Amino acid sequence: MERTLSSETLEKVGQKVKLLGWAATIRDHGKITFVDLRDRKGIIQCVGQDFPKITAESVIEVTGEVAKRPENLINKNIPTGEVEVKVEKVTVLTKSIELPIPIEGDGLEIEEPARLKYRYLDLRRPRMTRNLRVRSKLTSFIRNWLTERDFVEVETPILTKTTPEGARDFIVASRLQPGKFYALPQSPQQYKQLLMVAGLERYFQIARCFRDEDPRADRAYGEFTQLDLEMSFVSQEDILQLTEELFTSLVKEVFPEKKVSTSPWPRISHKEAKEKYGNDKPDLRKDKNDKNELAFAWIVDFPLFTEQTKEDFFHGAGNAKWAPSHHMFTAPHPDDTPLLDKDPGQVRGLQHDLVLNGFEVGGGSVRIHDPEIQEKIFDLIGFTKEQKEEFAHMLTAFSYGVPPHGGIAPGIDRFLMVVLGEPSVREVMAFPMTAGGQTAVMDAPSEAAEKQLKELGIKTSSK
């Protein structure tokens, strides 16, 4: 007999079916037992007399007839609440021992390390399963929408060289060149610009980025995902419009219950945002209690530089006067270019931040395509000769005909966190790390074998 999914039982009243799934709850009333079977579509009540001994969360196969429930026993809380399956046979396919964490409810009261250690159980919660499904719907919507508009999806390397976005790098040792290291990309920024030199004109990637920076509710430790996007022969206006169209269509399609409060999205200069709201990611919702309201906004006209601090070691020597507000490839406003020599603090950058309900959910810019200006920026952020050499490939590439280009990178995890009203980005990621940098389920980081270290030419001093 073919398998029937829980959601299909409604159309099969009077028919014999075979169900496969987990015994989510078992209510043994002596003579009669009720088992809620859970599969990927939801749950269905199974009722019978001679049940074998089953433990909760065991995987079972049930055969029986679908019957309408009597009026007074209809459960309005579940989609299959009008029917149940009169069990003829139950087979236990695999048995479950007692679960280490409860999986009913939203799980937010459970210590996060325990949830992450048993993430495969934690993900059985309907809320978590829904989050993963919505995430998949969102990325497939984005892929379709962009490819229909002539964008090309390109995978860029993970083992690469530093691409600074303002955090520390993760580094990976090289066996073939002992003593040398790859860096994991903080973003595909340089590759996407090189793809513009390659003539692709329209690129995107659902890209994994790696940043060694302290975790917060809206920032996972280690890795996150962004929609990375770049276009050639465009103005900042074109980038903002395309992004706005994409997200407006996406909300309509994937989150039809949500409403965007102001359209077109307000555009606010960085200065105005600071003066009026005291920050550069204002929450512009009209009713903050309305969980369906989405208030998008653009923040533009950022200063190109901020004052450099010791923490900016990844943005130069750490002792220069200036650090980039966005990143070192962001173009100065053309009207302000002469000020680069005279008064760099007054130069505006062609940067744009995407803000949603008080969170920065994306950022991007028009890029520098003039090698001379790029050099000037390197000097202003205090790059040494060696540091400049790290980026020499960009200047070389730009000497072979570079189109004017720009882009943006909205964060997928953060956008989902805000739209779904989740308290942290980890609630929309399948296997995030703990705050202490421990991977979910598996015990990484872990020690490497002496032999591996020797091959890599590494001696550790921590033992």
215 near ligand ASP (CB under 6 A): no
Q: Note the maximum CA span of the chain.
A: 89
- Provide, rounded to whole angstroms, the least separation between the CB of residue 403 and ligand ASP: 16
Give the alpha-carbon dihedral of 141, 145, 146, 152, to 10 degrees.
Answer: 80
C-alpha 178/C-alpha 118 separation (Å) is 37
Closer by beta carbon to ligand ASP, 243 or else 434: 243
Closer by beta carbon to ligand ASP, 198 or else 444: 198
- Strand ranges (E), 280-334: 293-294, 296-300, 305-307, 322-324
81-120 mask for ligand ASP (x: CB under 6 A)? Answer: ----------------------------------------
- Provide, rounded to whole angstroms, the least separation between the CB of residue 364 and ligand ASP: 4
Query: φ and ψ at 216, to 5 degrees?
Result: -140, 175
Q: Do the beta carbons of residue 119 and residue 220 sit within 8 Å?
A: no
Closer by beta carbon to ligand ASP, 65 or else 301: 301
Closer by beta carbon to ligand ASP, 46 or else 227: 227
Q: Among 139-147, 380-388, 401-409, 451-459, which window interacts with ligand ASP (CB under 6 A)? A: 401-409
Q: Among 127-135, 305-313, 405-413, 451-459, which window interacts with ligand ASP (CB under 6 A)? A: 405-413
C-alpha 230/C-alpha 189 separation (Å) is 9
| Interface pick for ligand ASP out of 344, 382, 407, 432 (rule CB under 6 A) | 407
Closer by beta carbon to ligand ASP, 340 or else 408: 408
Window 137-196: residues binding ligand ASP (CB under 6 A): 165, 187, 189
340-369 mask for ligand ASP (x: CB under 6 A)? Answer: -----------------------xxx----
State in Å, rounded, how far the first CA of the chain is from the last one.
59
- Strand ranges (E), 57-97: 59-68, 83-94
Query: φ and ψ at 416, to 5 degrees?
Result: -65, -40
- Provide, rounded to whole angstroms, the least separation between the CB of residue 189 and ligand ASP: 4
C-alpha 262/C-alpha 361 separation (Å) is 17
Closer by beta carbon to ligand ASP, 46 or else 240: 240
Residues in the interface with ligand ASP (CB under 6 A) total 9
**202-211 and 222-232 as β-strands: parallel, antiparallel, unpaired?**
antiparallel
Closer by beta carbon to ligand ASP, 92 or else 373: 373
**33-39 and 16-28 as β-strands: parallel, antiparallel, unpaired?**
antiparallel
- Provide, rounded to whole angstroms, the least separation between the CB of residue 209 and ligand ASP: 6
Closer by beta carbon to ligand ASP, 131 or else 330: 330
Q: Among 30-38, 60-68, 108-116, 407-415, which window interacts with ligand ASP (CB under 6 A)? A: 407-415
- Provide, rounded to whole angstroms, the least separation between the CB of residue 370 and ligand ASP: 17
Q: For residue 416, what are the CA distances in angstroms to 47, 108, 181, 226, 354?
A: 38, 17, 34, 11, 14
Q: Do the beta carbons of residue 82 and residue 11 sit within 8 Å?
A: no
C-alpha 209/C-alpha 351 separation (Å) is 20
Give the alpha-carbon dihedral of 239, 240, 243, 246, to 10 degrees.
Answer: -110
| Interface pick for ligand ASP out of 299, 355, 356, 408 (rule CB under 6 A) | 408
- Provide, rounded to whole angstroms, the least separation between the CB of residue 263 and ligand ASP: 23
Closer by beta carbon to ligand ASP, 210 or else 383: 210
**171-173 and 83-94 as β-strands: parallel, antiparallel, unpaired?**
unpaired
Residues that bind ligand ASP (CB under 6 A): 165, 187, 189, 363-365, 407-409
